[in-house]
Amino acid sequence: MKTAEIANRYLDFFRSKDHEIVPSASLVSDDPSIMFTIAGMVPFIPYLTGVVPAPYKAAADLQKCIRTNDIEEVGKTARHGTFFQMMGNWSFGDYFKEGAISYAWELLTSSEADGGLGFDEKDLWVTVYEDDDEAEQLWRSVAGLPANRIQRLGREDNYWTTGQPGPAGPCSEIYFDRGPKYGQDGGPAVDDNRFLEIWNLVFMQYAIDNVRGKTEFDIVGELPQKNIDTGMGLERVAFLKQGVENMYETDQVRPVLDRAVELSGRTYGKNHEDDVRFRVIADHVRSSLMLLSDGVTPSNEGRGYILRRLMRRTVRSMRLLGVEEATFPELFAASRDAMKAGYPELETDWQRLSSYAFAEEETFLRTLTAGSTILDTAVEKTKTAGSDKLAGDQAFLLHDTYGFPIDLTLEIAEEAGLGVDRDGFDSLMKAQRERAKEDARSRKRQIADLSVYREFRGAGETSFLGYDALQTETRVLGLIVDGVPADRATAGQVAEVILPETTLYAESGGQVADKGAIVGNGFELDVLDVQRPVPGLISHTVTVHSGEVAVGDAATTIVDGENRRRAQAAHSATHLVHAALRDTLGSGATQAGSLNRAGYMRFDFAWGQALSAETKTEIEEIANNAISDNLEVSTRIMSLDDAKAAGAMALFGEKYGETVRMVDIGGPWSRELCGGTHVGRSSEIGLISLTGESSVGASNRRVEALVGIDAFRELTTERRLVNELTSALKTPKDKLAERIAELSANLKRAEKQIAQFEAKELQQRVPSLAASATTVGRVQLVAESLGEIGSADDVRALVTQVRERLASEPAVVALVGVAGGRPIVAVGTTERAREAGVQAGALVKIATGVLGGGGGGKPDFAQGGGQDASKVDAALEAVRTAIEAA
């Protein structure tokens, strides 16, 4: 049975049981405390916790998930995958334990001919929470399960909580017996490899408090509304129904594995290490493709870093299989074809997805080449120093700075006959992880408990009236001070204000929040920010400027009209620039993000190379022509399907409901899904002036522009600058660039001549410096201050030349110069001086220690720098003393 068919059977079954079929949420989580949708229940948390009233009594879905906390286990077990799909059915105060158990048993055991999954009853076991007598009785009466196939487990295994005070409840898990080939008998309590969990039923019926740990909490009562939360892993069911050994061999994953086998020329199933690599490739390619399809792009932080890591692990695994050239065009295409039946957008959006993937692979292959060169140099230095082990900090530098995998460092070092200080590397990695964890904990501590909004959201959605008005009369529905509800807020306090309606725009879609005020009888509130903390609710963060505001007070929202007009002009300008980009570059230049505020816009788009000056001018001209054409700006509310059919552009990774707002500028020329505020006609934008274009990651570019009066002011400033230059250089405007180029060339020639004169002057100092050598201990020492110098190169050159003059002697040359106010030290030794036991590196460390700096090098030459130029003489004296004592 194909994976897509299993999913369809599941959804069809629950559709027939009057469940609302809910489309999958994005892999990019709305929850600020997590990066990805890591479980099927994540999109339903607001409904399960009661923060947002559920729009349906019962629902079912197939949810895309990404989980990377056990990425190192991928490929090693039958069930670890970074991307997976969870089938779930949900009840919000409708059916409870009996209904959930009945539905699960019917779907699992009904014959395939009748639309079921066709599992044999004798192969199914269940676990229940140790105190849940009701669940055990239902399994016996509803499913007819014998007592010996029902096992009771404790809180660790069979109790669900969020980890915080709030809803919780016992679980019942359904297991499939894979047979004696996979382990010992005795049920899931004995062997969870042979007995594989396929479905988890959570009975959310209790409220808990005083949470001290995963299993340490107090059950304080029953919930007023009991919910059902279930999850069945699609990949697990698929590999059982398809009779294969693991999820990597199912129809949605195996084609990538097979293509990797073909490209490598190796055989799957012959060698354990190779098999793990093949499975890693199959998993990571699919996960990367699905992340790309939800708008994530490779980068060095956040979600983008996770995606980049998955891609680079894939490249590394192919390299370990003997393939060093690019393989993503083959592997990603295989994954697309395997997944497109369930996710047709993978084919329709292939151009964008593939451009990111292919560019990332090319970048990393170049990184591997550069890293290999750096590593080769480090290996050579390690051997020269007489060590048999590459330093841990060097391996960490390659990993952390250059993205060079540690296992590749180990492999290359081993080929060169060296080990790697793995303890040192691991210590640095551990310290980095601890910093990252602390940073994550710090961010999480700053996130308010969203349950504080439950009561306010329960009163209904906040109505946004700002499309048609800049102020409205309303009342204070709620106040939050220091993260908890309050009945009033007084002058000087910062508070969140909840209103049933508002004209103040909440930040979203790239447009920043409105500025403005909320006023009432006896109080005035300055609006600092406007956000949507939970779906459907708008919260205003304010400072109480004067007076006292209380819950229930009448209030008026007032938008800063000038700021709004300039912000919406910038937002409309963004739409024009997007359309101009697509006109100029083609449909591949798709939006990847934007920011709009009063007078300024920036727009990120998919593109693999810098724009030429001519292209930027063309884009700017097209956008400004649209302004001068005074195009009509219109908005329509329609279904998402109708908007897509009309050709509306949607932002990848953005979450849209079934009903959307479509913004047209000039009809279909610019047509996008957008909830922001806009001008009435394009001429109200005034002017767009592109101020910059840059790279923001592999295959991503960014354009920035000033809009309206800000653009005009920038152009007048440039005009004034040009006029000043023409006047100062006595050159007409059309000859200005030529004149500046001429002056620049003259300056370079003058700088070169000055450098030659300085070099000649330095050369003339060599004889006198060599003649200043005096006997110190067993060597001839030249220890002099050079005073002000041009650069460190001057010190190095003099040390080298003076040492050559004294090459036949046991001589040391130690010179100190001051460049830019900072002392620079260089020390050179002749061969006979080194035979006498004098090392340049040791002497430099002594000198720079006196100067408040550091340095080092080889026995024959070393250099360094310091902070305190007043101690140059003391540093030279310290060198002299060290040589005397040698």
Give the domain CATH number at 651.
3.30.980.10
Write down the pLDDT at residue 717.
92
> Cβ distance 805 to 766 under 8 Å?
yes
> Cβ distance 396 to 429 under 8 Å?
yes
Residue with the larger pLDDT of the pair 384 and 492: 492
Domain residue limits at 205: 3-249
| In a domain? residue 304 | yes
All residues at 6 or more sequence positions from 672 whose CB lies less than 8 Å from its CB, including other chains: 575, 578, 648, 649, 650, 662, 663
Residues 463 and 528 in one domain: yes
Q: How many CB atoms lie within 10 A of CB 32?
A: 13
| In a domain? residue 747 | no
In this structure, of 16-25, 404-413, 581-590, the range with the lowest mean pLDDT score is 404-413
Its sign, for the CA torsion 234, 240, 244, 247, is: positive
Residues 460 and 483 in one domain: yes
> Cβ distance 498 to 456 under 8 Å?
yes
Residue 415, pLDDT above cutoff 60: yes
Write down the pLDDT at residue 582.
92
Residues 417 and 337 in one domain: no
Write down the pLDDT at residue 591.
85
Pairing relationship of beta strands 779-788 and 811-819 according to DSSP bridges: parallel
How many separate domains does the chain show?
6
Tell me the average pLDDT across 65-85: 81
| In a domain? residue 651 | yes
Write down the pLDDT at residue 79.
65
Write down the pLDDT at residue 679.
96
Q: Which CATH number characterizes residue 876's domain? A: 3.10.310.40
Residue 545 annotated as binding?
Answer: no
Question: Rounded to whole angstroms, how far apart are CA atoms 790 and 772?
Answer: 23
| In a domain? residue 746 | no
> Cβ distance 25 to 650 under 8 Å?
no
Residues 306 and 167 in one domain: no
Mean pLDDT of the chain, nearest integer? 89
Residue 674 annotated as binding?
Answer: yes
Residues 430 and 494 in one domain: no
Write down the pLDDT at residue 440.
45
| In a domain? residue 752 | no
Of the candidates 447, 473, 492, which is a domain's last residue? Answer: 447
Write down the pLDDT at residue 644.
85
Residue 284 annotated as binding?
Answer: no
Write down the pLDDT at residue 32.
65
Residues 257 and 243 in one domain: no
Question: Rounded to whole angstroms, how far apart are CA atoms 187 and 185?
Answer: 6
Write down the pLDDT at residue 444.
38
Write down the pLDDT at residue 403.
63
Write down the pLDDT at residue 63.
95
Residues 350 and 274 in one domain: yes
Q: Which CATH number characterizes residue 533's domain? A: 2.40.30.130
Of the candidates 249, 284, 300, which is a domain's last residue? Answer: 249
pTM here is: 0.68
Write down the pLDDT at residue 350.
92
DSSP letter at 482 equals T
Tell me the average pLDDT across 784-799: 87
Of the candidates 175, 177, 173, the one whose C-alpha atom is nearest the C-alpha of residue 154 is 173
Write down the pLDDT at residue 441.
46
Residue 652, pLDDT above cutoff 60: no
Q: Give the ranges where 446-497 is alpha helix by DSSP (H).
A: 454-458
Residues 610 and 701 in one domain: yes
Residues 151 and 300 in one domain: no
* pLDDT tens by residue, 289-326: 999 998 888 887 788 888 988 998 899 899 889 998 99
Band (654; pLDDT cuts 50, 70, 90): low
Band (411; pLDDT cuts 50, 70, 90): low
Residues 409 and 545 in one domain: no
Q: Which CATH number characterizes residue 42's domain? A: 3.30.930.10
Tell me the average pLDDT across 1-21: 95
> Cβ distance 801 to 763 under 8 Å?
yes
Residue with the larger pLDDT of the pair 808 and 72: 808
| In a domain? residue 740 | no
DSSP 79-119: S--SEEEEEEEEEESS--HHHHHHHHHHHHHS-GGGTS---
Residue 578 annotated as binding?
Answer: no
Residues 555 and 581 in one domain: no
| In a domain? residue 82 | yes
Residues 63 and 205 in one domain: yes
Of the candidates 327, 348, 374, which is a domain's last residue? Answer: 374
Q: How many CB atoms lie within 10 A of CB 351?
A: 12
Q: Give the ranges where 294-421 is alpha helix by DSSP (H).
A: 302-320, 328-339, 345-348, 350-384, 392-402, 406-415
| In a domain? residue 307 | yes
* pLDDT tens by residue, 656-676: 677 899 999 998 999 999 999
* pLDDT tens by residue, 113-123: 999 999 999 99
Which run of H or E residues covers position 233?
A: strand 218-233
* pLDDT tens by residue, 817-856: 998 888 999 999 999 999 988 999 899 999 998 998 888 8
